[in-house]
Structure formats: structure tokens, C-alpha cells
């Protein structure tokens, strides 16, 4: 791919820019914000570095006099592989190359325009204050830094000229008055560890002229030269600040209730990938409207969805979500086979999960390291809640299937999930066990919210969430704060019950297990979804006609007019086995009465063989299986026998937009004929186009 020819910043320019940044610092009037950030930064595309001058106006709202200021330096965690955020490509035994290493270096710090001492160690910048910063007083901190951007596909990285700048700058820590200390928690490899107050940002970034800049807040070009441009980035009430940069971004947009939603995608000639970007945009707009109605209005003017090379799934930031590279299909590997499914549904589901974080983490904040339940478990539950309300309870992403059923099945397979660290655990309680973290926080803990909903009812549940959102908007909450809201709205008994579930390491969600009826319907819906996915890859399969009927399409059973009672009973039993509750939706005709128009405009279930069913005979030359009294054969196989029975699926010869399912026999209707809809759905209903019984002894399945 084409790489930029960004100029290297000259020494003179750095010195002049440094002087400008440091001398423009002036005391500010106290207000409710803990910090206001202004920055001047420049991307060096050749060296993959960022030169920065950060000015922070700090208001001491901690409630204590402060002897020092503490900033997080999250880029330092990219110095070695074992401290990097978890990704699917991490190999801890393989050391990072120099290109893959990231680092931030603090070059100079001024307090109110005066040089000051500082230490930079272990992801923490500590700045000594010659005079204590009194309660409600203000101070200006100017930090000159340089950032080495690591090559890779993590949150802070560059790859193929797509730059992801997440957790990239010195960010003011939070002072804990109860513990009388600054938060110095290192970023943990599992989950997220962000914890900060909302702030105001005003950033000027210089980039190559052909680069597109997408960020938290709003972007506006303010100057340009022949090969460079400066973009001003501004945001209010932002918990942190993300910048995405690339010359390959293209954008499509929609507006919803005065909010501009942008879907940025990497330029491509593949229309199916552009279609994914459009589908993600459409789904996000719908979800934004839904969540705004359920909890409280999305509180910003813009929202960006950005495709990138990120390999951690997808990631949330204020006013922006980072998506992975879009693909059209996902490989599913099973012990017996490999198949591909449509990637779009899972991409959309991921986007909606990250959008949900705009309410639970971005607007209502929390300490992600100590209490991931409040953001990850909330976003997981309400994503499933969204699909339940918009697609029905049997949607694969809805609460019943994605949470209740998934947890009950997982508990059967691996009972240890019942004894994982509790929902109220901090991320370090999981060590380096990513699987346990996912099972505890994304699978088990969201069920606590479903339990709360069932206990108090839908209306009261939403009232709790709306009150919680309003109470902690642009603030940091805690589990204790959430429980307090529950108590105010539903009483102390409900609060205590939910509190016990959050802090119990043996939470089993027994009362949320799906009923037998729900389980049977889930299995049926799953079968239909797999049939549909297989059709996209293989064409019609044995389950295709069932799917058509259940989707409301017309189907006609065409029987020979000369069936014996034995044959009639066999045919009816097989059809009822295949169609289940949908059997009564079918029309039944004999080969003598069905019309040409009915055959053309319907899906067909053809019964018998070419010599006892005249419709079978008329279609014999246009179906993939040739049948006579001593031989059954297709292009890829041949069976010589006078006793073959079977079932196969093909396009309707009268109209290839419809499906034909044929149940046939060459000698007698055999009671030994094997066809059970649910006995082995993976190989029969989903993967196969035919099943044959030869001499009642041998079964063959496959594709034509």
C-alpha cells in the first residue's frame, strides 16, 4: 500500500512550538471539571512517532490538599508483550521486535510556566509540587512528550497506514480521598483498566495532507500547506480521547434526532464490504435511538464507527467505536468439517455492544479495573436486551439464547463456571485466564441484570436504569452506587438480593434456566439458522424447504394417486418428522390434480418415483438424480440396486426461485428407511443435499 511522505519535524520547529505551548499557559478560573486538556501534536509518518505538547489546567476537586500530581502513561505497557492488552495474536514467548514496541518519553514538565521535577516509571508520571495545591485551587501543567507508536493491531498501533491512537497521552489520574492516595493502577492485560473523570479537550494535530483524522468529539481543518494540514479536535465531557488516522478512510453518514452518525471504512472495490459498513451504520442508528429511549438521550452531537485492523474484537471510546477489519465470512471449524458463515451479523452485534458502552462507561463511568461488571456486563446484557426487543426472544443474540441458554449449557459442560470469581471482582482476580474472565463477566454476570428485571418487572427495571443514568451522568459510579439506586426504586430486600448475587462466587442462576419448551424452540431456531447459512455456501440442502415453509412460503405435497395404505402411512410419518408443526401449513395434491401454475409458483414436495408419479416423470430430465428400477445415479456417483430409497433437495425445475424436495423409492416403501430430522442435523439437514438407503443396509449422504 502507498505510504505517506510525512516530513520529519525540525529541531527549530520543536523548540518554537515548545516555547509557544509553555508560555501560553495561564491560570484558569475554577469550574466543575477536574482537568482541561489542550495539545499541539504532530504525526511523523516516516518514523511512526508523535511529538506532543500537552497543557492541562487542573482543578483540585479531590477534597484534599495535594503534594503531587499523578498521570497515567499507558503507552509504556507496549514495551513488552506480557504487559500489552490481550489480543488473539499475542504469543507471550515471542519477544517484541523494535517495530512492535511502543513507548512514551516525558521530556519536560512545567508547573505554571516553571520547570519542575518529575519521575517517569511503571506507567506513572509523578510531578512534584513545590507548594501544596489547595482544595478548589487550580494549576497549569505543561508536558512535552514523544510517543513511539508500535506496529501491530492493538489499541495503540499502526498497520498498513492505519493509526490507532488510544490511551496515547499522559492522562490525569483520580485521587481517592478515602484511601488518601492517587490511583496508580497499571493497565492490566485482560479487560480494560481505564479510570478517569470527564474532561474538556482542544487538540491541534498536524498530519500529512491526504490523511483523514477521526476522533472523539469534532474535527475541523484549520490550516494546510502543500503536504501538511492541521486539524483541530474538540470534545466536552469526554472520559478519554481516541484518534484514528489513515489516508484510506471513506465515510457514509446518517442523522438521527440531531446526532450525526458516521461509518468510516477502509477504501475497497469490494461492494460487499461497503455493504457491511452501510449495514453497521444502519444498525447503529437504530440502536442509538433505542438506547436513547430506554435509558436517556445520547449526550453528544456525533458518533463515529471506524473500521481498522484491530484484532481484539471491537473497542469502545467516547463518541467512537473501533471495529475490526470487515470480512464477508467467518470460518467455523468443527471436529468433522469446516464451514463458513456470514460475518455480518456478528460484526453488527459487536458494533451494538460497543455503542451500548456510550451509556455504560462513556457517560456513566466506573473503575474498569476494579468493577468491570458496571461496564462490560451492562453492555453485554443490554445488547442482548436490544436484540430481544427488536428481533424477538428467540433471536440468537437475545437474552434467552445468548445469555440464559448459553450459561446453562456452559454450566453443564463445565461446572467450574459456577465457581469463578464473582461478578464484583476486579480484573486481576482472573490472573492471565482470559477464558474465565469472559465466562464470569460476559456470560454469567449479565444474568444478574436479567434476574433483577424478572424480580421487579419491566417498567420498574427501566426506571432503575433511567434513574441510574441520570444520577451518574458524566460522573463515576460504583457497584455500591448502583445498589443504592436499586434500593431507592425497589427497596432494601431487592438491593440485598442483587448485592448477594454480585458478590457471590457461586451464583448459579437456577431460576433463569430455560424451560423445556424454550429449549426445544431454541434448537429448532438454531437448526433453521444453520440451514440458511449452509444454503448461502452450498445452494439448497435437505433443510431448505423446511426453512421456506417456516418463513411463510407456499409449498405443495404432490403424491401419486395410486399410493397404498402402507405407502401413505410411511409418507405421512416422514413428512411430519421433517416439517414438525409446519406440516399443517402444506397443501396436498395428487399428481393428477396439481396444475402447472401451482407447480411453477410453489415449493414442491415430490413423492414416489418416475413410474408411479407423473409429475416426477415429467421432471425426471431436469433434476440432479436419475432414478430407474435398477439404478440410481448422479454426476458424481452411481448405485446399482433394485432397492434404493431416499430424499434429495434441488431447485424446482419449473421455477428455480423455488425449492423441490423429493422423497422416493425404487422397489417398496421400506420401514427401515432412515431419515430423522433431528438425529444428526449437522450432516443431514444442514450439510447434505441427499440421503440414500441402499438395500436397507447402507446409508449414503452428500452433495451432488
pLDDT digits (tens, 9 = 90+) for 108-122: 999 999 999 999 998
Measure the CA–CA gap between 372 and 368, rounded to whole angstroms: 5
Cα 354 to Cα 156, 213, 335, 377, 493, distances in angstroms: 18, 20, 32, 12, 33
Tell me the pLDDT tens digit for each residue of 28-54.
333 345 899 999 999 999 999 999 999
Task: Supply the pLDDT for residue 679.
Answer: 46
Q: Which of 635, 647, 640, 659 is nearest to 685 (CA)?
A: 647
Measure the CA–CA gap between 247 and 395, rounded to whole angstroms: 38
Contact by Cβ (8 Å): 625, 636: no
Q: How confident is the model at residue 574 (pLDDT cuts 50, 70, 90)?
A: confident
Contact by Cβ (8 Å): 566, 669: yes
Measure the CA–CA gap between 557 and 606, rounded to whole angstroms: 6
Q: How many CB atoms lie within 10 A of CB 183?
A: 18
Measure the CA–CA gap between 380 and 74, rounded to whole angstroms: 26
In DSSP terms, 232 is beta-bridged to: 204, 220
Instruction: Kindly list the domain boundaries of the chain, sorted by start residue.
Output: 1-247, 251-358, 359-514, 538-702
Helix axes 479-490, 492-503, angle to 10 degrees: 150
Domain 251-358: which topology? Neutral Protease; domain 2 (1.10.390)
Domain 359-514: which topology? Neutral Protease; domain 2 (1.10.390)
Q: Is the dihedral of CA 270, 275, 277, 280 positive or negative?
A: negative
Radius of gyration of the chain (CA): 31
Task: Supply the pLDDT for residue 26.
Answer: 35
Q: Which of 26, 153, 133, 21 is nearest to 70 (CA)?
A: 133
Task: Supply the pLDDT for residue 414.
Answer: 87
Contacts of 448 (CB under 8 A, 6+ apart): 377, 423, 498, 501, 502, 507
Q: Which CATH class is domain 1-247?
A: mainly beta
Task: Supply the pLDDT for residue 355.
Answer: 98
- The larger pLDDT score, comparing residue 446 to residue 573, is at 446
Query: Can 359-514 and 538-702 be said to share one CATH topology?
Result: no
Task: Supply the pLDDT for residue 577.
Answer: 80
Tell me the CATH number of domain 538-702, given options 2.60.120, 3.30.70, 3.40.1130, 3.30.379: 3.30.379
Cα 447 to Cα 27, 131, 361, 402, 485, distances in angstroms: 49, 50, 19, 10, 18
Task: Supply the pLDDT for residue 681.
Answer: 52
Over 50: is that where the pLDDT of 480 sits? Answer: yes
Classify burial at 77, counting beta carbons within 10 Å of its beta carbon; exposed 0-12, middle 13-18, buried 19 or more: buried
Average per-residue pLDDT for the chain: 90
Q: What is the mean pLDDT of residues 176-200?
A: 94
Task: Supply the pLDDT for residue 274.
Answer: 96
Measure the CA–CA gap between 395 and 410, rounded to whole angstroms: 19
Over 70: is that where the pLDDT of 3 sits? Answer: no
Say whether 503 sits in a helix, a strand or coil: helix
Q: Which of 604, 662, 679, 666 is nearest to 639 (CA)?
A: 666
Measure the CA–CA gap between 267 and 212, rounded to whole angstroms: 12
Query: 281-290, 341-350, 369-378: which has the minimum mean pLDDT?
Result: 341-350
Cell triple for residue 254?
Answer: 446518517
- The larger pLDDT score, comparing residue 655 to residue 334, is at 655
Cα 189 to Cα 15, 158, 231, 256, 439, distances in angstroms: 37, 19, 32, 36, 17
Task: Supply the pLDDT for residue 91.
Answer: 61
Reported in sequence order, the residue ranges of 60-185 that DSSP labels E, i.e. its strands, are 66-72, 103-111, 114-115, 118-121, 124-133, 138-148, 157-159, 162-165, 171-172, 175-176, 181-182
Task: Supply the pLDDT for residue 293.
Answer: 98
Query: 555-564, 613-622, 665-674: which has the minimum mean pLDDT?
Result: 665-674
Task: Supply the pLDDT for residue 204.
Answer: 98
Amino acid at each position: 500500500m502507498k505510504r505517506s511522505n510525512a516530513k520529519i519535524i525540525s529541531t527549530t520547529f520543536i523548540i518554537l512550538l515548545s516555547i509557544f505551548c509553555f508560555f501560553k499557559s495561564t491560570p484558569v478560573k475554577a469550574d466543575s471539571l477536574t482537568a482541561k486538556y489542550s495539545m499541539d501534536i504532530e504525526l511523523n509518518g516516516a518514523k511512526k512517532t508523535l511529538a506532543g505538547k500537552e497543557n492541562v489546567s487542573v482543578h483540585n476537586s479531590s477534597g484534599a490538599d495535594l503534594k503531587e500530581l499523578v498521570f497515567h502513561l499507558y503507552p509504556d505497557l507496549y514495551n513488552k508483550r506480557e504487559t500489552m492488552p490481550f489480543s488473539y495474536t499475542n504469543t507471550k514467548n515471542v519477544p517484541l521486535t523494535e517495530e512492535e514496541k511502543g513507548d512514551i518519553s516525558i521530556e519536560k514538565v512545567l508547573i505554571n510556566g516553571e520547570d519542575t521535577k518529575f519521575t517517569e516509571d511503571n506507567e506513572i508520571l509523578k510531578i512534584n509540587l513545590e507548594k501544596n495545591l489547595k482544595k478548589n485551587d487550580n494549576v497549569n501543567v505543561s508536558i512535552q512528550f514523544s510517543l513511539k507508536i508500535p506496529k501491530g493491531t492493538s489499541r495503540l498501533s499502526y498497520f498498513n497506514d492505519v493509526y490507532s491512537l488510544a490511551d496515547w497521552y499522559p492522562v490525569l489520574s483520580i485521587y481517592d480521598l478515602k484511601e488518601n492516595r492517587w490511583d496508580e493502577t497499571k493497565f492490566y492485560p485482560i479487560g480494560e483498566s481505564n479510570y478517569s473523570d470527564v474532561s474538556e479537550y482542544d487538540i491541534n494535530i498536524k498530519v500529512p495532507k491526504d490523511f483523514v483524522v477521526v476522533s472523539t468529539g469534532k474535527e475541523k481543518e484549520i490550516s494546510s500547506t502543500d503536504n501538511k494540514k492541521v486539524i483541530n479536535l474538540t470534545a466536552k465531557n469526554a472520559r478519554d480521547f481516541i484518534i484514528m488516522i489513515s489516508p484510506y478512510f471513506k465515510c457514509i453518514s446518517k442523522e438521527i434526532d440531531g446526532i450525526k452518525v458516521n461509518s468510516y471504512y477502509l477504501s475497497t472495490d469490494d461492494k460487499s464490504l461497503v455493504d457491511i459498513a452501510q449495514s453497521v451504520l444502519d444498525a447503529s442508528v437504530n440502536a442509538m435511538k433505542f438506547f436513547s429511549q430506554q435509558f436517556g438521550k445520547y449526550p453528544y452531537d456525533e458518533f463515529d464507527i471506524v473500521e481498522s485492523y484491530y484484532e481484539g474484537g471491537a473497542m469502545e471510546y467516547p463518541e467512537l467505536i473501533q471495529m475490526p477489519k470487515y470480512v464477508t465470512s467467518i470460518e467455523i471449524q468443527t471436529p468433522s468439517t469446516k464451514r463458513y458463515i456470514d460475518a455480518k451479523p456478528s460484526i453488527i452485534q459487536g458494533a451494538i455492544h460497543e455503542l451500548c458502552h456510550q451509556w455504560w462507561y462513556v457517560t456513566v463511568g466506573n473503575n474498569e479495573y476494579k468493577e468491570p461488571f458496571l461496564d462490560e456486563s451492562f453492555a453485554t446484557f443490554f445488547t442482548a436486551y436490544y436484540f430481544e426487543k427488536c428481533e424477538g426472544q428467540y433471536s440468537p443474540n437475545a437474552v434467552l439464547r445468548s445469555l440464559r441458554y448459553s450459561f446453562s449449557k456452559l454450566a453443564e459442560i463445565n461446572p467450574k463456571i459456577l465457581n469463578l470469581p464473582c461478578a464484583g471482582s476486579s480484573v486481576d482476580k482472573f490472573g492471565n485466564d482470559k477464558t474465565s474472565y469472559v465466562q464470569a463477566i460476559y456470560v454469567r454476570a449479565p444474568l444478574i441484570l436479567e434476574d433483577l428485571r424478572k424480580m421487579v418487572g419491566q417498567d420498574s427495571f427501566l426506571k432503575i436504569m433511567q434513574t441510574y443514568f441520570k444520577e451518574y451522568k458524566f460522573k463515576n459510579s460504583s457497584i455500591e452506587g448502583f445498589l443504592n439506586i436499586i434500593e431507592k426504586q425497589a427497596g432494601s430486600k431487592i438491593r440485598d438480593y442483587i448485592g448477594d448475587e454480585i458478590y457471590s462466587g457461586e451464583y448459579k442462576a437456577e431460576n433463569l434456566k430455560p424451560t423445556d419448551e424454550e429449549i426445544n424452540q431454541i434448537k429448532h431456531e438454531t437448526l433453521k439458522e444453520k440451514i440458511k447459512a449452509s444454503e448461502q455456501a452450498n445452494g439448497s440442502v435437505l433443510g431448505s424447504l423446511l426453512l421456506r415453509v417456516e418463513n411463510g412460503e407456499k409449498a405443495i405435497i404432490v403424491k401419486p394417486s395410486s399410493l397404498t395404505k402402507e405407502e401413505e402411512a410411511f409418507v405421512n410419518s416422514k413428512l411430519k418428522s421433517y416439517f414438525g408443526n409446519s406440516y399443517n401449513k402444506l397443501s396436498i395434491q395428487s399428481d393428477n390434480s396439481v396444475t402447472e401454475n401451482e407447480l411453477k409458483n410453489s415449493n414442491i414436495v415430490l413423492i414416489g418415483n418416475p413410474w408411479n408419479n407423473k409429475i416426477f416423470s415429467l421432471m425426471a430430465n431436469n433434476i440432479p438424480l436419475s432414478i430407474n428400477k435398477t439404478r440410481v445415479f448422479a454426476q458424481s456417483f452411481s448405485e446399482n440396486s433394485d432397492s434404493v430409497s431416499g430424499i434429495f433437495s434441488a431447485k424446482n425445475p419449473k421455477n428455480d426461485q423455488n425449492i423441490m424436495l423429493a422423497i422416493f423409492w425404487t422397489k417398496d416403501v421400506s420401514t427401515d428407511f432412515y431419515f430423522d430430522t433431528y438425529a444428526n442435523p449437522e450432516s443431514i439437514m444442514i450439510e447434505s443435499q441427499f440421503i440414500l438407503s441402499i438395500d436397507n443396509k447402507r446409508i449414503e449422504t452428500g452433495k451432488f
